[in-house]
Amino acid sequence: MNKIHTLEPQGFEGTILNLLIDGHAYSIDLAKESKKLASATPEQLEDFIISPSGYGIHWPQLDEDLAVDPMIGIQHETPIWNVAETTSDYTTKKEQS
């Protein structure tokens, strides 16, 4: 699988999630990114999963997802869907049936 980003969590300060993204430090205020995350408990905030591709972060207790690119203000030259389609394990819903 092609990795879009490499994410390394560095801890929380309230609703601020400190991350290393592709080796660069970011402090992301989750309360500004999502109403669900703004009202979440510390335990709910700390229960997250980074997607294997590095595309986003998922909070299962809150059923909330955030994409990395908008959080850090970048846009890839190659659209994400195009990157996904070039991976060896890419299949469409139609192909899975």
Superfamily the domain 7-90 falls into: Uncharacterised protein PF10387, DUF2442 (3.30.2020.40)
pLDDT in tens, 29-53: 999 999 999 999 999 999 999 998 8
The C-alpha atoms of residue 67 and residue 34 are separated, in whole angstroms, by 12
pTM above 0.85, yes or no: no
pLDDT in tens, 67-92: 998 988 887 665 555 555 455 554 44
The letter for the amino acid at 95 is E
The C-alpha atoms of residue 42 and residue 59 are separated, in whole angstroms, by 12
Helix (H, G, I), strand (E, B) or coil at 58: strand
What are the extents of the domains in the chain?
7-90
